Structure 1
Amino acid sequence: MSVKVESFHKKSLNKVKTISGTKLSIQNAQLLTSSGVPSLDYIVGGGLPVGTITLIEEDKYGHYARLLVKYFLAEGIVCGHSLLVASQDVSPQKLVSELPAPAGDDAPPDAPATDEKMTIAWRYQNLPAVPSSPAAPRFGRHFDLSQTMAPEQLGAADISYWPCDDGRSPSPGGFENPAYRGLLEAVRGRIAAGGFAVSAPGEKPGVLRIAVASLGSPLWGRSPADLQLFLYCLRALLRSAYAVCLLTVPAHLFREPWLAGRCEHLADTVLGLESFAGTERAVHPAFKDYHGLLHLRKLPAVSTLAPPAPDSYDLAFKLRRKRFLVEKLHLPPELQETTEREQDDLATPSGCGGGRGGPFDF
């Protein structure tokens, strides 16, 4: 019996057409896009998953949260993504006009020299050496906060704005507040008109970036039920579209203590910003190199059973003249050179009685 030997040829795999400004995660093959801050992308697992909601709990004055929104939008313009900017607190047009310009050299921030051996406290000598900022290949770009993006570049971008909606008629669909209903319809219409839906035929034009500043603030009206319904419907829309949403909420202004937890449950990624402005930590020597703390409330778990595990949950952020950085929180070895350990302050007794006046003193 003759045996026919067939030659095995390497099958050519169909190349996946990648979308500009995105990459596939090596952990779960999820499509990721940058938040505009490379150090933040590294912490949350490589980037923001497309089809998810990233919720940022604002700091007390909302300055740093709004800065992250600008980074998010600036990254989208450089990558050629479409933008939808919405807010009830600030003008969306004014927010876009203040976007930072891409850094000319696009180089990572200066790091302290490590060639010379540093003298550190004994309790830090055996800790693993982990860099404060990631040394892995960057994803995203650096932006210069001292310069704004050119008007010509903003004019060439595909940007949609959602102004304040003061509709007088009752809003259908279970919403009592017309603002939430109007924004949800704007998102749905933008996804359909731009062909960002997964089921839409043809080649995808890119990614739709949705930025909502100060969602649920007092200017939106006191309607906690509508806020939860909006997040629930928005998440359902994004799951079937090439879109990613970043929104900020003033959780410290919520009257209901349970509302912040409900919002965190409905979002995929939750970050909390705690600014040192107006607190004792602003003048504390241990936090002199930082401007606030970054709390990881929730990390995305899309197409996987477990979210990414960061190297450390002790994170802090600082704002330099040109850049916003997220680093590990490192406390100084010693605040003063003459400081001694607490156990050294207690004199070791040398006699059997443990000192004069003891019951066994002889």
Structure 2
Amino acid sequence: MAAAGTCGTGTRSTGSMVAAASTNNVTSFQRRGPRASGADSGCSRLVSIAGTRPSVRNGQLLVSTGLPALDQLLGGGLAVGTVLLIEEDKYNIYSPLLFKYFLAEGIVSGHALLVASAKEDPADILQKLPAPLIDDSYKKECDEDVCSHKMEPDIKMKIAWRYQLLPKMEAGPVSSSRFGHYYDISKRIPQELIETSKWHGFFLPEKISSAFNVESCSLTPGYMKLLQFIQNIIYKEGFDGSNPQKKQKNILRIGIQNLGSPLWGDDICCTENCDTSHSLTKFLYILRGLLRTSLSACIITMPTHLIQNKAVIARVTNLSDTVVGLESFIGSEKETNPLYKDYHGLIHIRQIPRLNNLIYDISDVKDLAFKLKKKLFTIEPKDKG
């Protein structure tokens, strides 16, 4: 995995360094300008890749999930070479939005995409991606939303007092920031952006055949075909570094939809003691090995609430780097609870990876809720009433 590094300077004596600093009126405690660092101008620097930035905590190269508020909760973004597991909500209404945000961010950032699904054709998924918002458009949408929800003065004071002690969540885009974008879910991404993007699609019904047999490796035919497809793209396109990319280095964003569902030929959602109980975990183990040695990041949506065997869920969590769960209020008691009237569900940050650290960073905000507005999907600290 990529990490920020520093370049070594040539071997020089302490006296010569002091003399060079005094000549340019720069002390040893100040950063040297171009004139003072002329001898180091040929030093190699960290290659910059569009749509990425190094983590300020561990130097890990990060990409945006397409939802800046989620990036903030995950420590700045999703680390390259890792897996983000999205635990689908009960009716699979909101998890596809996070999946589409991730792919849309890849198109806007100029990254390559690999979209895998057993339910929907990847070409159709790309056509339904949300349209990006520029900074001014987002501010306008926020202003309209505030004006349409008038509150009493005492309620405003009550909410303001509660949120004084909470960490500030990112409410809007920074004009100078090029990492992470905002999207309008009521509009579709321009066709021109899709046509100019580079993407690879894996639609299981078109890839699998009844004669395909992989009993020897204990993987379902769908998982085996998908691993081969991902491996070929990584190697042929040079994302692993063994076959250098012809053009500027780029990131491969991998999106896998509804993994573990019966559509993939896996029966872990149908019975507790199934014959393919180790197929999913073996797939994740091999996939993570491919990601660790390549410039790629992966998002997976999985119906974990349907998996009968809790031990399988624990193994899946351990084989994922970042785990985010969505809990929808639809059909539950919380839907009619006045405490949750302003929200559509809860978001649970179940696991954050330990990258170049013995411990992981976790947000101070424990109670997180999400709501789907007319055009925006937002994450906020939940009002406890």
- Which category of TM-score, normalised to the shorter sequence, fits these structures? 0.7 to 0.9
Alpha-carbon offset, residue 106 of structure 1:
5.0
Question: Which secondary structure does the structure 2 equivalent of 1:211 belong to?
Answer: strand
Q: Name the Cα RMSD after superposition.
A: 2.6
Within 5 Å, give how 1:1-362 maps onto structure 2.
5-6=15-16, 7-8=19-20, 10=37, 11-12=40-41, 13-104=43-134, 105-107=136-138, 110=142, 118-120=156-158, 128-133=165-170, 137=174, 139-164=179-204, 165-167=207-209, 168-171=211-214, 174-201=217-244, 204-221=248-265, 222=267, 223-332=276-385
1:286/1:189 Cα in 2 relative to 1: closer, same or farther (>3 Å)?
Answer: same
Quote the offset at 1:282 in angstroms.
1.2
Larger CA Rg, structure 1 vs 2: 1
Secondary structure at the aligned position of 2:278 is classed as helix
Structure 2 Cα separation of the partners of residues 4 and 294 of structure 1: 55
Once the two structures are aligned, what percentage of the paired residues are identical?
Answer: 38
Assess if the C-alpha contact under 8 Å between 1:42 and 1:134 holds in 2. Answer: no
Q: Does the CA contact (< 8 Å) of 1:276 and 1:282 recur in 2?
A: yes
The one-character-per-residue Cα deviations of 1:202-260 (angstroms, maximum 9, x if unpaired) are: 56531000000100001112232110000000000000100000001001111212111
Distance 2:172 2:374 in 1: 22
Higher mean displacement: 259-268 or 150-159: 150-159
Q: CA deviation at 1:130?
A: 3.3
Alpha-carbon distance, 1:4 to partner: 11
5+ residue gaps, structure 1, are 333-362
- State the 4+ residue runs in structure 1 displaced beyond 2 angstroms: 3-17, 104-114, 116-121, 124-127, 129-139, 198-205
Larger mean Cα displacement after TM superposition, 221-230 or 240-249 = 221-230
Measured after TM superposition, the shift of residue 119 of structure 1 is 3.6
State the secondary structure of the residue aligned to 1:308.
coil
Amino acid at match of 2:119: D
Separation in 2, partners of 1:47, 1:56: 15
SS of 1:272's equivalent in the other structure is strand
Whose helix proportion is higher, 1 or 2?
Answer: 2
Shift of 1:135: 7.2
TM-score, with normalisation over the residues of structure 2? Answer: 0.79
Gaps spanning 5+ residues in structure 2: where? 1-12, 21-35, 268-275
SS in 1 for 2:138: coil
Q: How far apart are the structure 2 equivalents of 1:39 and 1:300?
A: 18
1:259-290 deviation digits (Å, cap 9, x = unpaired): 11111100000000000011121121111111
Distance (whole Å) between structure 2 residues aligned to residue 314 and residue 240 of structure 1: 35
Aligned counterparts of 2:370 and 2:262: Cα–Cα separation in 1: 27
Residue identity matched to 1:213 = Q
TM-score by length of 1: 0.83
| Equivalent residue letter for 2:101 | Y
Give the equivalent residue in structure 1 for 2:9.
none
Aligned length in residues: 328
